[in-house]
Structure formats: structure tokens, C-alpha cells
Amino acid sequence: MPKSKRTDAGQETDRRSAGRGSTPGNARDDQSLAAQSAGRPGTPSAVEEVSGTEQQSITRLLAIDGESREPRRSGSGDAASQAPVHYRVVNVGEGNEMVIYGYCWSWWRALLSTLVTILSCGLFIMAFYWRPEWHMKCSCQPCHLQDAEYVLMKTTDEFQEWHRHKVKFMYLKYSPQTDQRDRETIEDVDEFSLLRKNISFTGIQIRYLQHHSIRYIWDPNKRSFILLRGLEQNVSCSDLHKKYLDGLVYQESQNRKLIYGPNVIAVQVPPYWKLLGKEILNPFYAFQAFSVILWFVEAYYPYAVAIIVMSICSIALSLYTARKQYTMLHEMVQSHNSIRVTVLRKGSASQIVSSSELVPGDVIIIPQQEMILPCDVVLMNGAVVVNESMLTGESVPVTKTPLPDICEAGNYNDPIFRLQDYKRHVLFCGTLIIQVRPYENYVKAVVIRTGFLTTKGQLVRSILFPKPVDFKLFRDARRFVICLVLVALLGFVYTIIISSIRGEPIPEILLKAFDVITIVVPPALPAAVTVGVVYAQRRLKRQGIYCISPHRINLCGQLDLVCFDKTGTLTENGMDLYGVVRAKNKNFIYSNDDLKMQVFNEDEVLAAMATCHSLTLASSETTLQGDPLDLTIFRATNWVCRFRSGIGILRQFPFSSALQRMTVIAKNLDEQSLAAYCKGAPETIVKLCTKESVPDDFLEVMESFTQCGYRVIGLAFREFKGSLKESDIKNVNREFVEQNMTFTGLVILENKLKKVTSMVFSELLKAEIRIVMITGDSTLTAIQVAKESGMIGVRERVIRVKAKLPTATSKATVTWRNVRKAPGGECRESPQNIPVSGAESKPRIHFVVDGPSLLVIEEKFPELLPKVTLYGTVFARMSPDMKTKLIKSLQSLDYVVGMCGDGANDCGALKTAHVGISLSQLEASVASPFTSKLPTIECVPILIKEGRAALVTSFCAFKYMALYSMIQYVSVLILYYISSNLGNWEFLYEDLFITSAIAITMSRNKAYEHLVPQRPNANLVSPQLLLSVLMHIALCSTFQMMGFLLVQIQPWYNPWDQGARACSSNNTFYGMPSRHARNSSGILFNMQWKISNYVNTTIFFVSVFQYITIAFVFSMGKPFRKPISTNYLFLAVLVILYLFTLFLMLFPSSSLDTFFEEVLTNNHRLWNWLSRIYCPSASLVKHKKLHRELQDDPAWPPVTTPTWHKDAVQ
């Protein structure tokens, strides 16, 4: 690269490629994109090999992990294979899969779009803001991706979001002088791993773009932008030990810093003017601005000023809330953006640098004192105890062990380092280091991810850039508003025709026509609909439930299924030791009478209980910290945790959810012998033990305890007797340690149910809300907890579903068997038995499934998965990923799913569910829309009640605002027919004093105190709501037309009497000149009579009483909200408005509104019949249709016959 084109390291400039003469490519349509995603033939093909020295250099430099999907071209030949393309699909198969399109600057398009924007008075700015693809296509032209100056990114999920970014470039300047490692084998090692090879290419230009705080780097080999990753992908465990343990040279670290950027999670607090710009670009405020301008032209000053004041208050509150959230997030991450750390440099002494200087590949020294980790690192030696409450929601310390050097241990099957498989060796960003145990001089760790690539960075990104949530209520509201706009257009045309026929001036015709639009689509509609949610959020806060996503409150009212974690959610966090069952000579030694009083006189049992744990001493060295289960077992031994006495723990293999066990290697300091002790799920432990040590009645004894709800832990040990030397402990693999073990017994723990659990379940079941348990505990223990809590009734049928993978001699099978009642009848069960609904013709059935079986069913029997999840009540042995998959399976059946957990391993499920409720208030609660101060599940029915009340309130407000606009719409059209109109003060009385006061106060009804089986209507365009609105519109229009006609046949009616005033004096507010008269400047003749006439007064009074009456009619009470009699402020407003209006007119006439609302809208048989006629296929959602089909199937469930896989024996 010529020297004149080089810049200093760190300099980043924008690149333009106009005038390159590239042929513009055409963006593919959705059908071709779908074909490419499915891998269909017949689409263009891209390069597999790249020629040219510079391209090869860049490829070696940036052999980035990850793949981009590229189009395929039929035929062969170099020309075809190297054809440039306009787009690429990146992050294939991941949650952030996107299509990237290339564009280059077009001066004539940019000039034309600028002119159109100016002519539209800036309206196109708002359109370009909400539609970046329009902006791109109006200012740029498509080009090959390799020549692109700008890119357009489109997500491939259901939301189809578009993002516009500018392509930038950087130059690498430094070249290493002392780093000569493995230069001769560069081409043979990890071709797709980012920055594994030496950065030795001076002046290399790299194109990149930044999207949502992470970078995409241009790969000339793939001819695509590839997601920049750290060292956690496609690097072997031995390479981390051999190639990175000595650290990086300074020049290489500087190049990596240029590529990755500084190691900071930068959350900038935007200034108010930026937040204001984003806020006012909302289409709602644009429509408000149009309305206010129109009202000022019409001299309708009072209401225009009132709307301006309300909008300013709303915007100010929104800006304050948004800036406060940014400030809180900034303070949360700022604490570890500038930490001093010690970094090892290859070929030089260690350096103390700021954590912002760290890059992937750096080696840092973990200090002895407490420190918050500034990045994700993999531990290379020693042991570290950390607090991962930021990730798990639990402040239980976790012990991290060093990454084993596989090759040094004699295993030449070098595995690839995968973060999900080696989490126990990784220290994550944001976690707190509590204790460091160095095995050598100091503890070293290799940096694998920095900045927003870290675990905490991803968490912050999910907050800064949340995925859009497509709520059905919002979709229906948009459709409803579109219908109102169409009605407004009809009124617009009608006004123009009538006014033109009467010969009115064009300025007045346009003002009156546009005025119709502001009447039909009231600017206060969004505020009125969201008032109910605001009230509900305040009530939830007073009850100790905090919400970070208010729009999900309405979803709480639609919940028909709630999933619960077991430990810490349904049961108490702590456990009590019930007893120990020792095993000796293939027999269990215990008695039910003295189980709790047994003395631990067996060395193996006592040693296993005392050593096999992850407990650690606090800084005071007097308080133990760790998992509650480990604490309970250790304290039962009456041992003391010290450092140089008794049995010493030399190596620890931490507990793994996938393996369901933990193991330690310990040394008896008296006998100088080595032994391994293992603790975990009993069925897992026995697989590691010799058959000679496992009692024959193992299953019977274990099930006798698990069926009674006890938690059972298996113990085992192994004496090495010279097969393992102390010097080899550091690198020994887990498989070697955990083989040929001796089974020593069972530890029985009692996990008591929380007092409110049964009460809450009873309330939910009576409301016909399905409840599901998802736990990592054993199946039989979960079944007993489900029975004890009332989740499963005494006389209800329980079927255990077990699936097995295929073997060499058998196919994959699914077995169904009834679960027997626990022997002896000593186990506790809830006496309640909630009756099933009348729609169910069979006794209630509960499926019990474990996690491994669910995975087999998903893989081998996908047709059974919906049926199993439909009837599944207990899902045991579930890992965090399995919980998330189950939530998605339930959502695929059209369930509105809630998830309640204590934050430990539940973050994925809490984020996936429609409504996530965290019982933990730690940082992990950011994954959940709702966080409860109450440590029990009693928050669930509270949320459902408030959600139902908020949903009903939103519907009532929407119906009222729709009726209000249509009533005023009809009134104005009637008056337009005689060239009349309402006066400014008449409009103000209706818009501000009546409608605004009612819309605010009618939403104050509190939630009803009981849950009922009936569900609130969640469909804004349902036949029930539409027919109710249409009938009220017809009724109100009829009364207005009757008033219009009746007043004209009175003998005293005189249409040309300018001084005529019905029921009023000469100075009443509704007799003032109209807004049109004030601005006509004498153009219209004799305007006073247009306002002060009998028809105007009649229509005004009829419409006013209609507003008040429909407010009373639409303010629903039971069964979702408390009766209207409890909303004192709303009743006071109605009474005051009635009395004030009666002062002006003696008698209202709108009693039939109440009659129709009571007779028609509450007739459920009528509405069910109308629903089937309106949309017969929508009357049942997927899970109801499937349930009805299975109810009519006499062979379901197939308890007596196993289900075989259709394929041949594998």
C-alpha cells in the first residue's frame, strides 16, 4: 500500500467509492431470499477462492469466524464464480440473522430527495426516519457490496427491521518486531478464527461498519461483512495454553485495539435536544402539530393551547424518564470501564494499564483483592471464587477452575473451545472476584471478549436495542385508526361537495374539510388509551411489583398459562437435612425410625459430605458462603472449613447442569492418600459406580423418598491407590477421575413448600389458568411437589412420558405409563381437586416429562411435541436452554405464556415468555419485564388482575374515544348541511371539559379482587366490540337526526332569525361566533346566524348528553374491574357535568344507550353466535383445537402401547 494512503493507528475515516464504475445490482425480492435461505439451486454463485496479494493478506489477517450465506449461480467458470453481488445474508441461523445490501451515493437522487423534503415542509424527514430503506433508495443507488459506501441491513425475523449504516475503513500501521510464533504454520491453524494469525501486514486497509455497538468486518474472501468476534470461537484449548499464555507484543495489541475498539461498554447519556428530536418525529406529534396549526388558523385558541400544554408536559415527562434510564444504565456499567489491571507482554515485563486498553488475546493477572472483572476471560491456572449475581440473579459464590491443557494431560484429541461447554472455566465481565487461590506465583487468565462482545455487553445491548414487540392490541389499534381515517376522508369529500354547492369561499371550504379529519381522529386518542396502563403501573408499584416494560401490562390480562420454577419459587430457598442412607455391601443401611438420628461413622460418607462442595470463606474467614444445599450438607457434618487441617481439596470439578454432578480430588493430610468424591443426581451417580457397590433395591429406595417430595443426592468416592500422582492433578481430565467409583449412599433433604403456593395455585386453577412446573430437580420429587401444592389433584391421572434414543438394536421409542401413588400413604397431598371445565369430557390428564426425553421427542417425534406440551404439567431435569425451548413450544400453540422464576438459570425463559416475572431484585432482573419485591408467587395473580383491569380500561377508553369522535363527526356534518357549525366554546366544552375529564377519570377503576374463568376481550376488531360501537353510532346518529328534523317542524322555528336562541340567553357560551367567522374577514355574509340558531343548540345538547351517557355505559365494572361506584372521582365528574348541562337545558334524552349496552353486549350466547358467523376459524386457538381433537380420540393417550419411531433401526 502506498505510503501516502497510510494514516496513524486509531484513525478512522469514512470511505466513498463514487465513480468506480461498478454495475449496480438489483435487490432480490422476498421470494428469492426465501429460496436462498432454503439452499435451493438456481441462484447466483460467489467466489470460493480469492486471488491477489492484498486480498490474501487481508484474508489471513481477518480469518473471521462465522459464515455468510452467498447466492449460487448455475454454471461454472471463473467469471461466474467471481461475480460480485449486491447483498449477503450474515449470521446465518442465529437470532440476529440479517441481509446486507450495498449502496453507493447518487448525487441526482440526493438532490431530488432534498427538494421534495423542502417542498413537503420537512414531512419527508419523518418518513425517512421511520423508513430508512426509503431514505437509502431516494439518495443512493444499488451497487456491489464490495464497492458499497452505505449498507442497508434488514432482519430476517417476523419484524423485518431496516437499518442504514455508512461503511468506514481503518488502516493498520504497527507490525510486530519480536513475535515470531508459528509463522511457518500460519496456513495450517484455524483458518476461520479471527486474529489467530500474526498481524504483520503494514498498512492494510480494512472496511467495516458498526451496527448496534458491534462491528462487522469486510472479508474479501467471502465478499461479505462478517460479525467481529473474540477468541471464544474456533480456537482449541491447547492453543489457548500454547499460543496465548505468554501474552501479546505491544504492536499486535495496538492493532487489535484498533480493530476491536476500546474495552468499554459505552452508554452515552444523550442530551435533551437529541431525545427531543426523536420524540417529535413520532407521527402522533406530527398529526398534533397539524391539528394545532389548523386550530390557530380557525382562532380555536383555547383548545389549541390546552393541547400544546398537554403535549409539552407529555414530552417533558418522556424525556425525563428516558434520560433517567440512560443515566442509570450508564452508572451501572461505568464502574468497570476504567479499572487498573496487570497485563503480561511477550518479551517484556508486565504492565499496569487501564482496562480500556485490553484486547482479545491479552493475558491479565487476577489480583488477590476484590475486583469487578472488566472483560470475559478464561482462567488458565489457579482457582477463583466469583459472585455471578449479574448473570444468574443469585449472590451464591461460584468457584471457577483453570482450563485443562488437554495435550499436556496426554489426550491428543484436542477439543475446540466452546463457551457453553467451558463456562466453569470462564470469568464473565461484571462479576465480582471474591477469593483467589493461586497454585503458582499468580493466577493468569486470557481475555477472550471485550466491550459489547462480553456477556454483560450483550445484556446492555439488549436493553439499548430491544427487539420490537408486536402486540395484537397495537396492531388492531392501527387498523381501527385506518378505518377512522377512511371515514374522515368520506366526510372530507362530503364537506367539499356540500360547501361548493352552497357557493362558500374556497378558504373556508378547505378549513372545514380539514377540520373534519381532526374531529374523526382525535389527537388525544393515544393518551386516553394508555392512561389505564399508567394507573395500573402505579398500583403495581405500591404492591411491590416493578415494571420496566409498561406495554406488557395489558398482556398480563391475556395470560392463560403460567410456568413456574420450583426451587426458590414454589419452595423455600433453604433446605433441611432429613437424613442419610448409607450403602454397604450392596445394601442400604437405615431405618425409618432412626433415619434422622444416625451417627456418621463411615469415613467415606462423612468425607464426601465435608469435601464435595463449592463453599468458600468470606473475607472475615468466619462466614461460609455458597450454595444453600452445600451449606446444609456441610453443616450437618459439624466440620469446620479451614485451610491446612483434616482433608485438603486439591482439585475441584464444579457442578454442571448438563452433567448433573460435581467432583473433587482431596488428600487426607494424615494418611497422605488421594481420593475423589462425587455428589449429584442419584441416577447419574450410579452410572459412574461399579455394579458391585450399587444396592439391588436402589431404584425402590430412591423412589420411596422422591415420591414423598424429598430431594435426594447421591454420593460416591474413589481411592486412586497410586493410579494418580499429585503432580498430575492439575491436568487430569474429569472422565478419568469419575470412573469406577464406589457408591456410598444417599443424602435426603427436605425442601418445604412456601405457605402461599397452594393458595395461589387454587386461585389460578379456579380461574382456568393452566399452570406448569419447569424444574431441574428429579422427576418424582417434582411430581410430589405438584401434588402437594395442588397443581395435580388427588383423583387426577398422572402419566409419565419417557423417550429413548435409538440404539444398534432398537428404534427410538416413547413409553407412556401411569404414575403409581407413593407406598405407605405417608406423603402429603393437597386435598383440593379443582373441577374441570364443562368442555372437557375426560378426566384431567397430566403428563410428566423429563428434559432428555423432551429433546428426543423434539428430534425423533416432532408430531408428538404439541400433544406432549399440551398435556404436560411437570417438566423435570430441565436445563436453562430446555426451559427456553419449552416456552417457545407453548407459544407455538397460541398460549399467552407467563414465566415466574427466582432469576437463577431462568433469564432465557423470562425473556422469551410474553410476561416474565422475576423474584430476584439483582441485576439479572433486567431480563424480566416485571420484578417483584415479594419473594413468593402471590405476585402472579396480582399481575393478572391488574393486567385484566388495564386491558378492559384500554378497550373502554378506545370505545369511548371512538364514539366521541363519531358523535362530534355526525354533529358537524349535520350542521354543515345547513352551513352552520359549532362555536369555539362549544367545541372547547366538548373536547376539554367533557371528553378529557371523562377519559382521565374513567380509567381509575381498580382491579377486581377475584380471578374469574371468563377472559377479557383482547381483540379490538372483534365482532362484539365492532357491533357495539356501530350500534351506538347508529343510535346516537338517529337521535341527532331526530333532533335536527323535529326542531324544524316546530311552529316557532325560523331559520333566518339571527337572534334566535333556543334555551339560552344572548350571552351564552354556545352562541359565540364561530372560528370560521373570525377568520373570514367579511368574506361570508351574516355569519352570526350560522352559530346562533335552533338547530345548533339542539344538536349541541343532544351530543353533550350522549358523551356523558356513553361514558357511564362503557365504564365496565365486574368481573375485571371494581364497580363504578368505587370510582368516586369519575362519578363526581359525571354528576357535575350532568348538573352543569342541566343548568343549560332541563332534560337529557339518551336512556336507550344504557338499555342497548346491558341487553346486547352482555348476552354471551349472542356474541358466541356472532363470533362464529364473523370468523368461524378464529373461535378456537391452536391449543384449544388440538385439545378438542384429542378429547374425541379414544386411543389417547397411548398408555398401553409404546410409540415407535418410523425409521429403521439405526
* Residues identified as active-site: 565
Angle, to 10 degrees, between the axis of helix 851-860 and the axis of helix 880-892? 50
Q: What CA–CA distance (Å, rounded) separates 569 from 753? A: 9
269 φ, ψ to 5°?
Answer: -85, 105
Backbone angles phi, psi at 917, to 5 degrees: -125, 115
Is residue 125 a contact partner of residue 117, using CB atoms and an 8 Å limit? yes
For 142, the 3-state DSSP assignment is strand
Q: Are 736 and 616 in contact (CB under 8 A)?
A: no
Q: Which three cell numbers stand for residue 180?
A: 515470531
Vertex 390, ends 616 and 932: CA angle to 5°? 110
Is residue 669 within 8 Å of 645, Cβ to Cβ?
yes
Residue found by looking up cell 455428589 in the block: 679
Identity of residue 598: Q
Question: At what angle are helices 506-520 and 283-297 packed, to 10 degrees?
Answer: 140
Neighbours of 215 (CB within 10 A): 21
- Give the integer Cα–Cα distance in Å for 437 and 614: 13
Q: Which of 11, 3, 9 is nearest to 251 (CA)?
A: 9
**Nine cell digits for residue 288:** 398534533
Answer whether 297's CB lies under 8 Å from 1079's CB.
yes
- Tell me the Ramachandran region of residue 125: left when phi exceeds 0, alpha when psi lies from -120 to 50, beta otherwise: alpha
* Strand 351-354 relative to strand 340-344, pairing: antiparallel
Residue that has been written with the C-alpha cell 403428563 in this structure: 847
1086 phi/psi in degrees, rounded to 5: 50, 65
Distance, CA of 865 to CA of 870 (rounded, Å): 8
Give a three-class secondary structure readout of 69-99: ECCCCCCCCHHHHCCCCCEEEECCCCCCCEE
- Answer for the pair 844, 804: CB distance below 8 angstroms, yes or no: no
Distance separating alpha carbons of residues 1075 and 512, to the nearest angstrom:
10
Q: 760 is written with which cell numbers?
A: 395461589
Q: Determine how β-strand 432-437 pairs with β-strand 383-387.
A: antiparallel
| Helix, strand and coil in the chain, % to nearest 5 | 45, 20, 40
Report the distance separating Cα 254 and Cα 175, nearest Å: 10
Sequence-distant (≥ 6) Cβ neighbours of residue 567 within 8 angstroms: 573, 751, 775, 776, 777, 902
Q: What are the backbone dihedrals phi and psi of residue 984, each rounded to the nearest 5 degrees, phi first?
A: -60, -45
DSSP string, 445-474: EEEEE-GGGSHHHHHHHHHHSPPP---HHH
Integer Cα distance of 97 and 74 in angstroms: 25
* Contact criterion met (CB below 8 Å) for 15 and 207: yes
CA separation for the pair 557, 472 (Å, rounded) = 13
- For residue 1041 the three cell numbers come to 337526526
Q: Which residue has the cell 431525545?
A: 275
Q: How many C-beta atoms surround the C-beta of residue 1195 within 10 A?
A: 9
Residue 776 DSSP symbol: S
Nearest of 58, 19, 43, 155 to residue 100 by alpha carbon: 155
